[in-house]
Amino acid sequence: MSKQTLDRILQSQGFGTRKRCQQFIHAGAVTIGGEVVRDERLAIAPEGLEFTLDGEVWTYRKHVYIALHKPANYECSRKPSHHPGVLSLLPDPFRLRDVQPVGRLDHDTTGMLLLSDDGAFIHTQSSPKHHVPKIYIATTHEPVTAGLLELLLSGVQLHDEPAPLAAVHCRMMDEHQLEIILEQGKYHQVKRMLAAAGNHCVALHRAVIGSLTLDSLGLGEGQWCYLDEAQRALLAPAAL
Give the pLDDT of the chain (240 residues) as one tens digit per residue: 689 999 999 999 999 999 999 999 999 999 999 999 999 999 999 999 999 999 999 999 999 999 999 999 999 887 778 889 999 999 999 988 989 999 889 999 999 999 999 999 998 888 777 778 999 999 999 999 999 999 999 999 998 888 899 999 999 999 999 999 998 878 889 999 999 999 999 999 999 999 999 999 999 999 999 999 999 999 976 443
Give the pLDDT score at 110.
Answer: 97
Residues 118 and 161 in one domain: no
Q: What range defines the domain where residue 97 resides?
A: 65-128+212-239
What's the domain count of the chain? 3
Query: Which CATH number goes with the domain that contains 116?
Result: 3.30.70.580
179 C-beta neighbours (distance < 10 Å), count: 16
Residues 55 and 161 in one domain: no
Residues 152 and 205 in one domain: yes
Query: Which CATH number goes with the domain that contains 40?
Result: 3.10.290.10
Residues 49 and 155 in one domain: no
Residues 51 and 73 in one domain: no
Give the pLDDT score at 37.
Answer: 96
Quote the distance between the C-alpha of residue 126 and its chain's center. Answer: 10
d(CA 153, CA 131): 17
Q: Which residues are catalytic?
A: 106
Residues 121 and 97 in one domain: yes
d(CA 113, CA 104): 8
Residues 77 and 19 in one domain: no
Give the pLDDT score at 186.
Answer: 80
